[in-house]
Chain A
Amino acid sequence: MLKLFGASITVLAALLYSKIKSSALQRRINRCKAVTELICELKMQVECHALPLWDILEGCRSPVGRMLADGAKKEGFPFAVRKHMDKLLDGNEEREVLLSFADGFGRGNVDAESERCSECIDRLNKITDTLEKGASTEEKTRLAVSLCVSLMAVLFLA
């Protein structure tokens, strides 16, 4: 009975580990998509209305934008992005893309800013696509490996 319980715990632990890792990856993907959505909204507002950044962030539909609004007003957009980076993005690659975007945003004319937004959106979309493609394969592999290791452990200990 005790062995059965121990074996169940081992298998469950393996499954939980797999689930946590998948969730972390999914969170990274979701955050990347949320930031991409914000940049899309920025692009639209710049192209259609040439609204100042502060006004766009304040009235943002995206919660990410509203989070950045206060910091952008007080200390500037790059500062606000750096301050909230832990809540914005998880991966180093996409963080670099966002920082590079934030450092240069707002200095050019409408066309230049629209192009800057488009470039950032493309880069973030590429990162998201790569992550999503790898995610399902990685999830299955991780699950299989976790189960195998846990079963081997059970057999060994039994």
Chain B
Amino acid sequence: MFLAVRDAIEARGVGLSDISEIRLRRDMQISLSLDRVNMRVPRVCEASDMEYVVSRLCRGSVYAYEHHLREGYVPVGGGMRVAVNTAVHYSDGKMLRERVPLSVVFRIPVHTEGQSKRLAALMHRSPGGMLMFSPPAVGKTTVLRDLVVGLSGKELSMRVAVIDCRGEIDDGRIPESCLVDLICGCERASGMEWALRTLSPQIIAVDELAEEDITAVCNAARCGVPVVATLHGGSFAEVLSRKNVFDGFASGAFSYLVGITRERGAPPKFDIRRYAEGRWTEC
């Protein structure tokens, strides 16, 4: 199976570093993604392949990752995200997972450095909560990680608490000199509260904010700690149509709304808008 994937990559004349996703689907062809372009590998993934892959991901022990698998992923470190999609059924009120997954998706991170300098400088100059959005697979987590490094690095030296629920933000490449405190594995709202109580952060960074977490963001803002967060969203209008998000800006918890776009092979582009005194301005 792995040889088929490698041969397909070579046949296309692309390198491994161009691949953003490898997707295995049970009893269907394997597919690779190069940014928004998808290509098929002429090899069908069988149930035994899927079991083998999950077993390897779980270091020979599915039981050790039961909690993560219920959430639909396996943490592998290095910033890589592996989604494991399994059919479930309910018995006596308990959710039971099928042993063989339906699909496994390897999201391969793109390592960037310094691309969020503009955002970091803005946060440092005029501190305020920042919400970054984009559709999936554009690179929000990568931008967030880069921003965390920029804010906590030698130049700006801010204390940043990172709520890293799934071990995706810390890819093992955050420099030692960064003033970063990691909170791993807990829920976002609890993590933010914990950070406020114990770590005296100057900024809190959170990935994939859910709308119900915005209350925790408002609490942090009331304590004088701005939150930098990412969110799935397609456009400014769509993101602001969500009540909790709109309330977050109206209450002052967020000051900046940043739309992230990226062309294939190019660095991300930021469309930054600032909300102050009831008005939106472009930065």
A residues at B contact (CB < 8 Å): 46, 50-55, 72-73, 76-77, 105-110, 112-113
Contacts and interface: CB of A to CB of B under 8 A. Distances in A.
Nearest to A72: B60
B55 A52 contact: no
Contact of A52 (B51, B58, B99): B58
B193 interface: no
A55 B58 CA distance: 11
A53 B61 CA distance: 6
A110 B59 contact: no
Contacts, number: 48
Interface of B: 51, 55, 58-66, 99
B64 A51 contact: yes
A54 B59 contact: yes
17 contacts: A50-B63, A51-B61, A51-B64, A52-B60, A52-B65, A53-B64, A73-B60, A76-B60, A106-B55, A106-B61, A106-B62, A107-B62, A108-B63, A109-B63, A109-B66, A110-B66, A112-B63
Contacts of B64: 50-53
A77 B56 CA distance: 11
B57 to A, nearest CB: 10
Nearest to B96: A109
Q: Could you tell me the dominant secondary structure of chain B's interface residues?
A: helix
- Residue with the highest number of chain A CB atoms closer than 10 Å, among B58, B60, B65, B66: B60
Contacts of A54: 59-61
Contact of A76 (B55, B63, B66): B55
A55 B63 contact: no
A110 B60 contact: no
A55 B59 contact: yes
Given A50-B63, A107-B62, A112-B63, 6 more contacts: A52-B59, A52-B64, A53-B61, A54-B59, A55-B59, A72-B60
